[in-house]
C-alpha cells in the first residue's frame, strides 16, 4: 500500500513537471524586446492584498478553459501569502472551483517576486510587473514571458484601460497577440478577443 502511494505521488510530480515544462514551449516571440529582462514593480503588500479579477491572460495549464477567473490574496502573520484561485471550468453553469496555494515573497525584490507553491515540492515564480498608484490594476508575468496576466479590482474595465495594460506587457517584451480576455459574464463567451474553452491557445 505504501509503495503504491509513493508511486502515485511520484507520478503526480512527474506529470506536474512535464506540464510546467510544456508552459515553456512557446511560439517565437516577434517583440523586438523579447530578450529584455523583466522589470519588477515595487509593492506595498497590504495594499496589494484582497480580491482581484483576471481580465486577460496567457494562461498556465491550471487556468486553461476556465471562465470567471479571480484571485484572492491574504497576507499572513509569517509574511507568506494565502493565495486562492477561483473559476468555473468550461462555462458559467459549471460549479465554482477554488484552489488554494501558499506564496513566499522573495527578499530584495520590492515584494514583487513570489514563489507560488502549487503543491509540494512544486513551486513556480510569479512576477508583478506593474501596479497603478491606486492599486486598482496590476500586470503579472513569468520569467520566460510564456505566461502573463492583467488583473483588476472589478470584473470589467474600459477598452482604453485594457489597451494601457496590454502596452505594459508589450513594453516588457511580451508577444501581446497571445493575450486574450477571460470571460467574466455569459455574454462575453465566444466574442472576439476572449478565450473560448476548448481552443488551442
User: What CATH number corresponds to the domain at position 92?
Assistant: 2.40.128.20
What is the pLDDT at residue 201?
59
Instruction: Report how many domains make up the chain.
Output: 1
Confirm whether 16 is domain-assigned.
Answer: no
- Using one digit for the tens of pLDDT, what is the confidence trace for 93-140? 999 999 999 999 999 999 999 999 987 788 899 999 999 999 999 999
What is the pLDDT at residue 118?
80
Residues 6+ apart with CB under 8 A from 183: 67, 68, 92, 189, 191, 194, 195
Q: 104 forms bridges with which residues in the sheet?
A: 115
Confirm whether 81 is domain-assigned.
Answer: yes
Confirm whether 17 is domain-assigned.
Answer: no
Q: Which domain holds residue 63?
A: 45-188
Confirm whether 4 is domain-assigned.
Answer: no
Report which of residues 48 and 201 the model is more confident about: 48
Mean pLDDT for the stretch of residues 15-37: 68
What does each C-alpha distance from 155 to 48, 100, 151, 180 come to in angstroms? 17, 21, 9, 15
What is the pLDDT at residue 9?
40
Q: Cα 127–131–137 angle (5° rounding)? A: 110
Mean pLDDT for the stretch of residues 164-188: 98
Confirm whether 30 is domain-assigned.
Answer: no
What is the pLDDT at residue 128?
98
Confirm whether 56 is domain-assigned.
Answer: yes
What is the pLDDT at residue 200?
72
DSSP string covering the chain, please? -HHHHHHHHHHHHHHHHHHHHHHT--PPP--TTTTSPPPPP---HHHH-EEEEEEEEE--TTTTTEEEEEEEEEE-TTS-EEEEEEEEESSTTSPEEEEEEEEEEPTTSTT-EEEEEEETTEEEEEEEEEE-TTSSEEEEE-TTSS-EEEEESSS---HHHHHHHHHHHHHTT--GGG-EEPP-SGGGTT-TTB--TT---
Q: Cα 193–24–20 angle (5° rounding)? A: 100
- Using one digit for the tens of pLDDT, what is the confidence trace for 47-102? 999 999 999 999 988 999 999 999 999 999 999 999 999 999 999 999 999 999 99
pLDDT band (50, 70, 90) for residue 10: very low
What is the pLDDT at residue 184?
98
For cell 458559467, the residue is 92
Q: 140 forms bridges with which residues in the sheet?
A: 128, 149
Confirm whether 197 is domain-assigned.
Answer: no
Confirm whether 8 is domain-assigned.
Answer: no
Mean pLDDT for the stretch of residues 152-159: 98
What is the pLDDT at residue 23?
47
Whether the pLDDT of residue 18 is over 50: the answer is no
Amino acid at each position: 500500500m505504501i509503495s503504491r502511494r509513493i508511486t502515485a505521488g511520484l507520478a503526480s510530480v512527474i506529470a506536474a513537471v512535464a506540464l510546467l515544462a510544456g508552459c515553456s514551449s512557446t511560439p517565437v516571440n516577434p517583440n523586438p524586446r523579447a530578450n529584455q529582462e523583466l522589470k519588477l514593480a515595487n509593492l506595498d503588500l497590504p495594499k496589494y492584498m484582497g480580491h482581484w479579477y483576471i481580465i486577460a491572460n496567457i494562461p498556465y495549464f491550471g487556468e486553461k478553459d476556465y471562465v470567471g477567473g479571480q484571485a484572492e490574496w491574504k497576507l499572513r502573520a509569517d509574511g507568506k501569502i494565502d493565495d486562492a484561485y477561483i473559476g468555473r471550468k468550461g462555462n458559467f453553469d459549471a460549479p465554482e472551483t477554488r484552489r488554494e496555494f501558499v506564496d513566499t515573497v522573495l527578499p530584495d525584490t520590492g515584494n514583487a517576486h513570489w514563489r507560488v507553491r502549487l503543491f509540494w515540492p512544486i513551486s513556480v515564480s510569479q512576477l508583478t510587473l506593474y501596479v497603478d498608484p491606486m492599486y486598482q490594476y496590476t500586470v503579472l508575468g513569468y520569467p520566460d514571458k510564456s505566461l502573463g496576466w492583467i488583473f483588476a479590482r472589478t470584473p470589467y474595465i474600459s477598452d482604453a484601460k485594457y489597451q494601457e495594460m496590454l502596452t505594459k506587457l508589450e513594453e516588457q517584451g511580451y508577444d501581446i497577440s497571445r493575450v486574450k480576455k477571460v470571460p467574466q459574464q455569459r455574454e462575453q463567451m465566444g466574442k472576439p478577443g476572449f478565450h473560448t474553452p476548448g481552443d488551442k491557445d
